[in-house]
């Protein structure tokens, strides 16, 4: 879709949103202020003519009168211009809020951020949401209003310039048209280069952030040399692209600078002879220069703003790519595996999973159904196969074919071997936003005590103090907090990825007993002898993708 089409689509979304009514009123106010500004410019043009004529004629009384007019016009113009600028900034901020909110909601909806990251089809979505949206809204407002202002200026000053000299009016139009064409020809490569530059800047910045976030690991592994090479390589790409941009800007600058200098002398060259012949007053020369400059400036918007336009075009393309990417659909597992939603069970129908690296079969033709209430231990020698089954059931990117049947939404939860705890307060870590008003701090404290985690509450300075959990908690403690977070939702099923890796056997037992107590069916990856009495069945996954299903109700030990 052409850039103009993308641009119009973005405006329509905003106009039809919940912010649209307020935005339309603000835009109407801006149009009114633009009319006022251009009307004041015309008045100022005539006052300036009479002011200069009074000076040339040494008419003191007229000079004072026109000076007062001048001051009055400047005062009103200042007031209108300031209100205009304030309204423009507020409208741009409102638009930025709408696009950013919408982008965040779509980006974090149903794992879209993971799909974009795993497929690698969209570079730096974070920068597009943060920086490109800001640039887009601010620049769009500026360009739209400049275009409208230029249109009003053309309408207002075409008549003024025509009344002074039809020849000068024709020169203004022809001069601006030729200049715009040559600017487009010289500066067209900037659009692609600016597009690439935004990504290269973001790549360099992300590499620096990677060093900061992994500082301790980097020092221990002594991998500074590799990181230096990576950073310098990205810096080199960034600078190389920037040099090409500056070279084109140089060539464009030669033309536009000369173009702007000529604007100042052309009116005098055409109008001055008439003054010398005594056909016009002296003030007409300054009036023609002012009108010519304003009219040519209005016609020359492409010339004066081409560098900004080229960057803006790149931003529009990048934002449109982001919107297209996040709107492709919520499916995470777009890889040949069909996921079907069905309540009351987790099932696999002729499911085959393969390694994306070498195509090795990890699980071959797995077909079984796990109804609610059947607690399953997933064991066996094929660790890669067990992890692949966990990811595929969660809907993550795993290569294969077949079908997975699972409950929808919050009826099925997953806990990774290394859980994610977002920065925030202890209460925010433990309670999902939707349940915030239903769960009290006392119930959370009781659950922390049941899992012997009351010391964490003291270390976190209570329930309502922001913390960086990775720095104050061990991996086992992070897992237990993540478990409480999932447990508070009371799902029908929980799939646990190797809980015994970071937790002690008694902690794993306590978690599984708590799940059974609350009738939550669990599937857990573990070893064959891992608390076998706490399970109803074992799914063994061995080499070459072979699997076996075994009921163990009769084998269960008496606790």
Give the SS3 label for residue 382.
coil
Q: Give the integer Cα–Cα distance in Å for 275 and 281.
A: 6
- State the average pLDDT over residues 298-325: 66
Tell me, what DSSP letter sits at residue 360? -
- State the average pLDDT over residues 112-127: 61
Tell me, what DSSP letter sits at residue 523? E
Q: Give the least confident one: 168-182, 339-353, 514-528.
A: 168-182
Q: Give the integer Cα–Cα distance in Å for 525 and 503.
A: 13
Q: Is the pLDDT of residue 121 over 70?
A: no
- State the average pLDDT over residues 154-177: 74
Question: Which candidate, 174, 165, 166, 167, places its Cα nearest to that of 285?
Answer: 165
pLDDT of residue 6: 65
Q: Give the integer Cα–Cα distance in Å for 81 and 145.
A: 13
Q: Is the pLDDT of residue 299 over 70?
A: no
Give the SS3 label for residue 170.
helix
pLDDT of residue 490: 80
Q: Is the pLDDT of residue 452 over 70?
A: yes
Q: Which run of H or E residues covers position 550? A: strand 547-551
pLDDT of residue 558: 37
Residue the block writes with tokens 């433990």? 430
Q: Is the pLDDT of residue 316 over 80?
A: no
Q: Give percent above pLDDT 70 in the chain.
A: 81
> Following DSSP, what letter does each residue of 204-242 receive, concatenated?
HHHHHHHHHHTHHHHHHHT-HHHHHHHHHHHHHHHHHHH
Within 8 A by CB and 6+ apart from 375, the residues are 512, 516, 521, 522, 523, 534, 535, 536, 537
- State the average pLDDT over residues 273-282: 72
Give the SS3 label for residue 286.
helix
* Contact in structure between 40 and 76 (CB atoms under 8 Å): yes
Tens of pLDDT, residue by residue over 323-338, are 666 666 544 445 678 8
Q: Give the integer Cα–Cα distance in Å for 404 and 472.
A: 38
Give burial (CB, 10 Å; 0-12/13-18/19+) of 413: buried
pLDDT of residue 123: 60
pLDDT of residue 431: 80
Q: Give the integer Cα–Cα distance in Å for 107 and 378.
A: 33
Distance of CA 416 to the CA centre of its chain: 27
- State the average pLDDT over residues 122-139: 69
Q: Which run of H or E residues covers position 365? A: strand 361-371
- State the average pLDDT over residues 129-140: 72
Q: Give the integer Cα–Cα distance in Å for 99 and 494.
A: 36
Q: Which two tokens stand for residue 57?
A: 């004629």
Tens of pLDDT, residue by residue over 237-277, are 888 888 888 888 888 778 777 777 777 777 777 777 777 77
Backbone angles phi, psi at 223, to 5 degrees: -110, 25
pLDDT of residue 41: 77
Q: Which two tokens stand for residue 56?
A: 């040339």
Tens of pLDDT, residue by residue over 487-539, are 777 888 989 888 887 788 888 888 888 888 888 899 988 886 667 888 888 99
Pairing type for strands 345-354 and 361-371 reads antiparallel
pLDDT of residue 220: 60
First-to-last alpha carbon distance for the chain, in angstroms, is: 67
- State the average pLDDT over residues 275-296: 71
Q: Is the pLDDT of residue 206 over 70?
A: yes
Q: Give the least confident one: 133-137, 324-328, 350-354.
A: 324-328
> Following DSSP, what letter does each residue of 383-435 receive, concatenated?
HHHHHHHHHHHHT----EEEEEEE--GGGEEEE-SS----SB-HHHHHS-GGG
Tens of pLDDT, residue by residue over 17-61, are 888 888 889 888 888 888 888 778 777 777 777 777 777 778 888
Q: Is the pLDDT of residue 321 over 70?
A: no
What's the longest Cα–Cα distance across the chain? 119
Rg, the chain, Cα only: 34
Q: Which domains does the chain have, with CATH numbers?
A: 3-326 (1.20.1560.10), 337-421+473-555 (3.40.50.300)
Q: What average pLDDT does the structure give for the chain?
A: 78
388 pLDDT band (50/70/90 cuts)? confident
User: Around Cβ 232, how many Cβ atoms within 10 Å?
Assistant: 11
- State the average pLDDT over residues 367-383: 89
Within 8 A by CB and 6+ apart from 115, the residues are 331, 332, 334, 397
Q: Give percent above pLDDT 90 in the chain.
A: 2
Question: Which candidate, 527, 532, 459, places its Cα nearest to that of 499?
Answer: 527
Q: Give the integer Cα–Cα distance in Å for 70 and 280.
A: 22
* Contact in structure between 314 and 198 (CB atoms under 8 Å): yes
Give the SS3 label for residue 489.
coil
Higher pLDDT, residue 369 or 453: 369
pLDDT of residue 330: 47
- State the average pLDDT over residues 198-210: 81
Question: Which candidate, 452, 451, 429, places its Cα nearest to that of 441?
Answer: 429
Q: Give the integer Cα–Cα distance in Å for 487 and 435.
A: 12
- State the average pLDDT over residues 139-156: 72
Give the SS3 label for residue 102.
helix
Within 8 A by CB and 6+ apart from 27, the residues are 91
- State the average pLDDT over residues 377-392: 88
pLDDT of residue 325: 64
Q: Give the integer Cα–Cα distance in Å for 89 and 95.
A: 10
Q: Is the pLDDT of residue 542 over 80?
A: yes
> Following DSSP, what letter does each residue of 419-487 receive, concatenated?
----SB-HHHHHS-GGGTTT--HHHHHHHHHHTT-HHHHHHTTSSSS-B-HHHHS-HHHHHHHHHHHHH
Tens of pLDDT, residue by residue over 419-451, are 777 777 888 888 877 777 777 888 888 888 888
pLDDT of residue 117: 60
| C-beta contacts of 29-37 below 8 A and 24+ residues apart | 29/87, 30/84, 30/87, 30/88, 30/91, 30/145, 31/148, 33/80, 33/83, 33/84, 33/87, 34/84, 34/145, 34/148, 34/149, 34/152, 35/152, 36/80, 37/77, 37/80, 37/81, 37/84, 37/149
């Amino acid at each position: 879709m052409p850039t103009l089409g993308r641009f119009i689509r973005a405006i329509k979304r905003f106009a039809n949103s919940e912010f649209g009514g307020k935005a339309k009123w603000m835009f109407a106010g801006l149009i009114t202020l633009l009319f006022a500004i251009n009307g004041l410019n015309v008045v100022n043009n005539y006052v300036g003519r009479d002011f200069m004529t009074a000076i040339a004629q040494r008419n003191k009384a007229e000079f004072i009168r026109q000076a007062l007019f001048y001051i009055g016009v400047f005062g009103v113009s200042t007031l209108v211009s300031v209100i205009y600028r304030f309204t423009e900034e507020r409208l741009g901020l409102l638009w930025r809020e709408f696009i950013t909110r919408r982008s965040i909601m779509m980006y974090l909806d149903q794992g879209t951020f993971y799909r974009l990251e795993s497929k690698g089809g969209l570079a730096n979505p974070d920068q597009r949401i943060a920086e490109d949206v800001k640039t887009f809204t601010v620049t769009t407002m500026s360009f739209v209003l400049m275009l409208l202002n230029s249109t009003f200026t053309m309408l207002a000053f075409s008549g003024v310039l025509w009344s002074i000299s039809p020849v000068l009016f024709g020169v203004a139009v022809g001069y601006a048209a030729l200049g715009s064409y040559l600017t487009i020809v010289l500066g067209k490569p900037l659009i692609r280069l600016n597009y690439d530059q935004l990504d290269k800047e973001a790549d360099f910045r992300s590499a620096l952030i990677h060093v900061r976030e992994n500082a301790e690991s980097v020092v221990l592994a002594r991998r500074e040399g590799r990181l230096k090479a990576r950073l310098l390589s990205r810096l080199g790409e960034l600078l190389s692209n920037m040099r090409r941009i500056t070279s084109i800007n140089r060539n464009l600058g030669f033309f536009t600078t000369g173009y702007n200098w000529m604007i100042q002398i052309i009116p005098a060259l055409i109008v001055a002879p008439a003054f010398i012949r005594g056909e016009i007053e002296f003030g007409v020369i300054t009036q023609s220069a002012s009108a010519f400059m304003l009219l040519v400036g209005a016609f020359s918007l492409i010339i004066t703003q081409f560098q900004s336009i080229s960057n803006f075009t790149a931003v529009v393309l990048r934002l449109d790519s982001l919107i297209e990417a996040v709107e492709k659909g919520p499916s995470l597992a777009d890889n040949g595996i069909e996921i079907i939603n069905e309540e009351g069970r987790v099932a696999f129908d002729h499911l085959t999973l393969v390694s994306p690296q070498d195509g090795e079969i990890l699980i071959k033709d797995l077909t079984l159904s796990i109804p609610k209430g059947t607690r399953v231990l997933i064991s066996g020698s094929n660790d890669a196969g067990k992890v692949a089954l966990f990811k595929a059931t969660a809907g993550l990117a795993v290569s294969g074919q077949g079908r997975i049947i699972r409950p929808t939404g919050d009826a099925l939860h997953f806990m990774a071997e290394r859980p994610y705890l977002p920065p925030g307060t202890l209460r925010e870590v433990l309670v999902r936003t939707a349940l915030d008003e239903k769960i009290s701090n006392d119930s959370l404290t009781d659950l922390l005590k049941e899992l012997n985690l009351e010391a964490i509450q003291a270390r976190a300075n209570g329930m309502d103090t922001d913390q960086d959990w990775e720095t104050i908690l061990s991996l086992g403690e992070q897992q237990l907090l993540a478990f409480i977070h999932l447990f508070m939702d009371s799902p029908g099923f929980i799939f646990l990825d190797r809980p015994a890796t970071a937790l002690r056997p008694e902690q794993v037992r306590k978690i599984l007993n708590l799940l059974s107590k609350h009738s939550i069916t669990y599937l857990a990856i573990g070893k064959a002898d891992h608390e076998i009495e706490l399970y109803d069945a074992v799914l063994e996954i061995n080499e070459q993708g072979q699997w076996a299903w075994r009921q163990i109700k009769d084998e269960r030990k008496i606790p």
